[in-house]
Amino acid sequence: MNYEKKPIPKQGGLFYGADYNPDQWQHAPEILERDIELMKQAGVTSASIGIFAWTSLEPKEDHYEFAWLDAVMDRFAKEGMYVFLATPSGSKPMWLSEKYPEVRRVNKDGIRDASGWRHNHCLSSPIYRKKTRAINAQLAQRYKNHPALALWHVGNEYSGECHCELCRSAFQDWLKKRYKNLDALNSAWWSSFWNHTFTNWGQIQTTDASIDALQLDWLRFINDQHLSFMLNEMVPLRERTPDVPCMTNFMGTHEGTNYWQWAEHVDIIANDLYPMPADCADSWRYSIQSDFIHSLMRGMSGGKPWMLLECSPSSVNWGKINKLKRPNAHRQEVLQAVANGANTIHYFQWRKGRGGFEKYHGAVVDHEGSNQSRVFQDCAAIGRELNQLSAVYGADCPQAEVAMLYDWESRWALNASQGPKVLAGGGPFKGDLYTKLCFDHYEALTCCGINVDQVSTKSEFSAYKVLILPALYLVTQEMADRIYQFTQGGGQVVATCLTGYVDLSNCCWLGGFPGAGLAELFGIWNEELDNLDDEERVKVMGQFSGFARDIAERIHLRGAKSIAQAGSEFYAGHPLITEHKCEVGHAFYLAARFESAVLVDFYQSLATRFDLSCTLDADLPLGVVFRRRESADKKYGFLFNYTQETHSIDLKEHSFLDFAVSSNCTGKLELKPYETRVLQI
């Protein structure tokens, strides 16, 4: 091979491509040639390869075959395209699964999985860790200097848990390191309840729903095991290819993985997202849900470019009803990611396979195999447009004035606790009360035209004007002190129902909620929590009016003032929204899950009072959203119509250059359903 190693696109470049499975087409080499031709037509620059190709690489133990992958890598290099080379740990070879049964997971009932499926390997198995490192070392050694190698795609969508004896023993060892002795563990877990006091480490099981602290620690352990497994995979990659970045694909707000911790160990943030089409009056909310997840990735990347590593160019095959995307929706989803800082757009998948679970999953190339399909033409048009937008990729997303804390530990602790309402319903957040409360506030801020950065408990808050803490259920004394310091520095803090209930071990704070001194900061005492039926509403009156649902707290004023009250139920007249002056800053407490109208009015009042900047100084209809990316000398705007209706936007005195038509936009601008305009400001 004498191909010149091209520089990998950095902040100012774009990757556009898909997951590609040439290992499934080794019997048909003409398919590779046809795919290369079609990729060039579609503007593809890159592909993730080898994700589930372990048996093709190692058909029997310690016997490796790389000829097919050599051919693929060489063809990509010849065409100046890049490969995200995957480590194949996400799916075990049958020979490995059958020879070493310990690599197969055991469920909560003690039953070991059969061979097959995917993402079901034991995280603690020394054999599986050894075998993954061995195949990864082979890949790294063989392709370390290959001109097509751009990135390592480490594993795939790490998820799930195992309850085998290896994992139980590893969990017990993890607990020993955390608590040092059983007295400390029993105290932290409040294990005298129901006579659960442990007198020997070996008594501790991997699951017990009656010990919510155990459940919380189990989730922490599983997260740490996944992270440890990924880092084990990366060892030979780091050793042999220290200059090749490593990433893995996150899954948005996935329950079992605290991605704030993972973000510290990967070189680039990457995420998979599959928005499901919705034909309903408020379908625009589904698009803002995607923005919410994109903003989480942007937060993990520190505002720098990140990767949308999987999305579908058409339908999926795993939903209850797999609808096709309506005209303009696919382009809008792609540009949403770009507007939120993505410099990579990859699809799952490039070509549909002939058989298996995903043979009907959307792909750029259909079973028909030509460039004539609607989806291929759509993807090719997007490829051309993304190439034309090259100037945008050197721009970051500007730091917002408002930060929102998203905390997996609060989510885990809340979900492990019996008592607070469990929400029904589907969507990307399903019955997750914690994440839905976070999204409520993100959506309201978006409707107000206010940009939001998502942050972690380790983030620095001082540069923000407003810090929002939706349902910060688990609060340490250290975190409470940081929140207090934020207000003393002149910041405005907003907390919601379910804030400050438990400590690090999921034990309730004594002295009243919110605990750890936050009751004094907010000037309230939260005495009781009312869980409402799905159809119930509590009327809200005062400075803000509307309704609350699902959760309402009965709080008392202890220095704060009430700015909105309950207008129904036996606690009518009790405060639902309070404000407490804290020397320089202010602390607001929202003691219910409010419907959108209340939250929008609340945040509009904060925007006026504390001079919060809007993303665009224009009156935008509900469901029309504006996002920005900025470089040192240029600013770009993305104007989205997330609705199924045509809207006319008054740009007032603004004048923008429309990239699509290379002409200025002034005055009235009409946006058709799902239409997106990319503008230079």
Best CA proximity match to 328, nearest among 664, 652, 12, 642: 642
8 within a domain of the structure (yes/no): no
Q: Domain ends where: 563, 584, 609?
A: 609
pLDDT at 279: 66
Q: Are residues 361 and 310 in the same domain?
A: yes
CA atoms within 13 A on the CB side of 395: 23
Q: Are residues 519 and 661 in the same domain?
A: no
pLDDT at 249: 97
676 within a domain of the structure (yes/no): yes
Computed from CA positions of residues 478, 483, 484, 489, in that sequence, does the dihedral angle turn out positive or negative?
positive
Q: Residues of the chain whose pLDDT is less than 70?
A: 1-12, 279-281, 426, 661
Q: Where are the beta strands (DSSP E) in 114-254?
A: 149-153, 246-247, 249-250
pLDDT at 9: 61
Q: Choose the catalytic residue: 102, 157, 161, 579.
A: 157
582 within a domain of the structure (yes/no): yes
In this structure, the strands spanning 249-250 and 270-272 are parallel
| 310 among known catalytic residues | yes
CA–CA dist 118, 324 (Å, integer): 26
Query: Concatenated DSSP letters for 12-64?
Result: T--EEEEEE-GGGGTT-HHHHHHHHHHHHHHT--EEEE-TT-HHHH-SBTTB-
**Which residues form the domain of 577?**
402-609
What CATH number is given to the structural domain containing 665? 2.60.40.1180
Q: Are residues 115 and 47 in the same domain?
A: yes
Q: Are residues 388 and 527 in the same domain?
A: no
| 520 among known catalytic residues | no
Helix (H, G, I), strand (E, B) or coil at 81: coil
Would you give the DSSP letter of residue 340? T
Q: Which amino acid is at 193?
A: F
Number of domains comprising the chain: 3
Q: Are residues 538 and 641 in the same domain?
A: no
pLDDT at 1: 47
468 within a domain of the structure (yes/no): yes
pLDDT at 13: 76
28's tokens: 């048909």
As separate numbers, helices (DSSP H) first and strands (DSSP E) second, the chain gives 17, 27
CA–CA dist 483, 487 (Å, integer): 7
The answer to whether the CB of 85 falls within 8 A of the CB of 136 is no
CA–CA distances in Å: residue 7 to residues 3, 13, 15, 72, 144: 12, 10, 13, 19, 15
The answer to whether the CB of 676 falls within 8 A of the CB of 623 is no
Q: Which amino acid is at 491?
A: G
Q: Are residues 497 and 592 in the same domain?
A: yes
What CATH number is given to the structural domain containing 517? 3.40.50.880
Best CA proximity match to 219, nearest among 414, 89, 404, 406: 414
Q: Choose the catalytic residue: 58, 161, 310, 579.
A: 310
**Which residues are within 8 A (CB) of 581 and not within 5 positions of it... i.e. 6 or more apart?**
none
In degrees and rounded to multiples of 5, residue 650 shows phi and psi of: -90, 110
Counting Cβ atoms within 10 Å, is residue 232 exposed (0-12), middle (13-18) or buried (19+)? middle
The answer to whether the CB of 497 falls within 8 A of the CB of 591 is yes
What CATH number is given to the structural domain containing 373? 3.20.20.80
Q: Which residues pair with 678 in a beta bridge?
A: 638
Q: Which amino acid is at 341?
A: G
618 within a domain of the structure (yes/no): no
238 within a domain of the structure (yes/no): yes
pLDDT at 7: 57
CA–CA distances in Å: residue 229 to residues 59, 82, 97, 123, 483: 23, 26, 18, 6, 34
CA–CA dist 105, 116 (Å, integer): 11
* Cα 236-136-255 angle, rounded to 5 deg: 95
134 within a domain of the structure (yes/no): yes
**Which residues are within 8 A (CB) of 465 and not within 5 positions of it... i.e. 6 or more apart?**
401, 402, 491, 492, 610, 612
pLDDT at 189: 97
Q: Are residues 605 and 634 in the same domain?
A: no
Computed from CA positions of residues 50, 56, 60, 66, in that sequence, does the dihedral angle turn out positive or negative?
negative
Residues in the chain, overall count: 681
Best CA proximity match to 325, nearest among 374, 285, 281: 374
182 sits in which H/E element: helix 182-189
- CB-CB neighbours of 29 under 10 Å: 12
CA–CA dist 198, 336 (Å, integer): 51
257's tokens: 């993985």
Q: Domain ends where: 584, 609, 634?
A: 609
Q: Are residues 370 and 418 in the same domain?
A: no
Computed from CA positions of residues 144, 145, 146, 149, in that sequence, does the dihedral angle turn out positive or negative?
positive
189 within a domain of the structure (yes/no): no
Q: Which residue has the tokens 């730091």?
A: 399
Q: Domain ends where: 582, 609, 636?
A: 609
Q: Are residues 385 and 411 in the same domain?
A: no
Task: Please write the tens of the pLDDT for every residue from 399-425.
Answer: 999 999 999 999 999 999 998 988 877
Q: Are residues 533 and 594 in the same domain?
A: yes
CA–CA distances in Å: residue 252 to residues 118, 157, 349, 514: 20, 10, 19, 29
The answer to whether the CB of 213 falls within 8 A of the CB of 197 is no
CA–CA dist 131, 233 (Å, integer): 10
Best CA proximity match to 244, nearest among 323, 162, 314, 148: 148
Cα torsion 245, 246, 251, 255 to 10°: value is -130
Q: Are residues 387 and 409 in the same domain?
A: no
Q: Are residues 415 and 305 in the same domain?
A: no
